[in-house]
């Protein structure tokens, strides 16, 4: 029972983390001055939203709420402020370096996941991995191919959600 409680708490935290990310990433995307940077960051916003959509059925299956909590949105907006002044390279380095903690946390969640949740939680882990790969590719000076893993994962998410992408504004409910 303790493992299930721990798993569900981690799942809820991860799900709310997608709303945090939607709020944060949207502000970062809108703040970028270069059109290609803005476009790339909006693609990351789509990945956050796709991850939320992949997790939503798992949340409902466990009887958990799928609405954004106001504190998750506020925290994302507050956190975004420290990223808005960074150069592109600084932004890529900072995000890359921060993602290892999320990858480890979500990998631990995957180990606890019941079999019926496996594919959704695997997607959760993978979305952090491809975001890190995006940052690494940008830092390696290969911006033309940096979104490939992100776009591939969004396509995989479409197959998990029945082929529909239904974006949500961070301040709306599922």
CATH number for the domain that contains residue 85: 1.20.1260.10
Angle between helices 118-139 and 35-61 (to 10 degrees): 170
Q: If you count DSSP H runs as helices and E runs as strands, how many of each does the chain have, helices first?
A: 6, 0
Domain membership of residue 61 (yes or no) is yes
Domain membership of residue 95 (yes or no) is yes
The pLDDT profile of the chain, 174 residues, written as one tens digit per residue, is 568 899 999 999 999 999 999 999 999 999 999 999 999 999 999 999 999 999 999 999 999 999 999 999 999 999 999 999 999 999 999 999 999 999 999 999 999 999 999 999 999 999 999 999 999 999 999 999 999 999 999 999 999 988 765 555 444 333
Contact 80, 24 (CB under 8 A): yes
Q: Please tell me the pTM assigned to this model.
A: 0.92
Give the pLDDT score at 62. 97
- Residues of the domain holding 152: 2-160
Give the pLDDT score at 163. 73
As a whole number of angstroms, the distance between CA 45 and CA 40 comes to 9
Give the pLDDT score at 165. 58
- Please enumerate in sequence order all residues whose Cβ is within 8 A of that of 146, keeping only pairs 6 or more positions apart, or say none: 40, 134, 137, 138
Domain membership of residue 68 (yes or no) is yes
């Amino acid at each position: 029972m303790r493992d299930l409680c721990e798993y569900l708490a981690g799942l809820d935290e991860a799900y709310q983390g997608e709303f945090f990310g939607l709020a944060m990433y949207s502000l970062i995307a809108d703040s970028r001055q270069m059109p290609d940077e803005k476009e790339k960051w909006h693609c990351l916003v789509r990945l956050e939203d796709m991850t939320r959509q992949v997790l939503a059925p798992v949340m409902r299956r466990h009887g958990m709420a799928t609405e954004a909590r106001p504190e998750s949105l506020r925290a994302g907006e507050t956190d975004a402020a420290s990223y808005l002044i960074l150069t592109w390279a600084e932004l890529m380095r900072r995000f890359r370096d921060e993602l290892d903690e999320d990858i480890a946390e979500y990998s631990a969640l995957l180990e606890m996941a019941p079999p019926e949740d496996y594919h959704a939680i695997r997607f959760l882990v993978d979305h952090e991995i491809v975001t890190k790969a995006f940052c690494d590719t940008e830092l390696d000076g290969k911006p033309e191919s940096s979104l490939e893993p992100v776009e591939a994962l969004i396509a995989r998410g479409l197959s998990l959600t029945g082929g529909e992408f239904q974006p949500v504004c961070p301040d709306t409910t599922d």
